[in-house]
Chains A and B, each alone.
Chain A
Amino acid sequence: MDGDPRDPEAAAFAELVSAGPVEPRDAMPDAYRALLVRQIAQHAHSEIIGMQPEGQWISRAPSLRRKAILMAKVQDEAGHGLYLYAAAETLGVDRSELVDALHEGRQKYSSIFNYPTLTWADMGAIGWLVDGAAITNQVPLCRCSYGPYARAMVRICKEESFHQRQGFEILHTLMHGTPAQRAMAQDAVDRFWWPALMMFGPPDAESAHTAQSMAWGVKRFTNDELRQRFVDMTVPQADALGLTLPDPELRWNAERGHYDHGPIDVDELREVVAGRGPCNAERMAHKRGAHEAGAWVREAAAAYDAKHGAARAEAVVG
Chain B
Amino acid sequence: MTGWPLWEVFVRARRGLAHVHAGSLHAPDAEMALRNARDLYTRRGEGVSIWVVRSADLTASSPDEHDTFFDPAADKVYRHPTFYDVPEGVEHL
Contact = CB atoms under 8 A, between A and B. Distances in A.
B60 interface: yes
17 contacts: A25-B60, A27-B64, A75-B43, A76-B43, A79-B39, A83-B23, A83-B40, A86-B23, A95-B26, A155-B23, A291-B1, A304-B29, A308-B29, A309-B28, A314-B30, A315-B30, A315-B33
Contacts of B51: 315-318
Nearest to B31: A312
Interface of B: 1-4, 6, 23-34, 39-40, 43-44, 49-54, 60, 62-64
A298 B2 contact: yes
A305 B5 CA distance: 11
Interface of A: 23, 25-27, 72, 75-76, 79, 82-83, 86, 89, 95-96, 99-100, 151-152, 155, 159, 291, 298, 301-302, 304-305, 308-309, 312-318
A181 B9 CA distance: 45
A30 to B, nearest CB: 17
A302 B2 contact: yes
Contacts of A315: 30, 33, 51-54
Contact of A305 (B25, B29, B50, B64): B29
Q: Main SS of the interface on chain A?
A: helix
A99 B27 CA distance: 16
Contact of A23 (B24, B29, B54, B63): B63
A30 B2 CA distance: 27
B2 A304 contact: no
B52 to A, nearest CB: 5
A313 B6 CA distance: 13
A79 B32 CA distance: 16
A21 B28 CA distance: 31
A116 B40 CA distance: 28
A100 B30 contact: no
Contacts of A152: 23
Contacts of A76: 43
A27 B24 CA distance: 22
Contacts of A317: 51
B34 A316 contact: yes
A185 B85 CA distance: 70
B24 A25 contact: no
A27 B31 CA distance: 35
A235 to B, nearest CB: 31
A155 B64 CA distance: 29
A316 B52 contact: yes
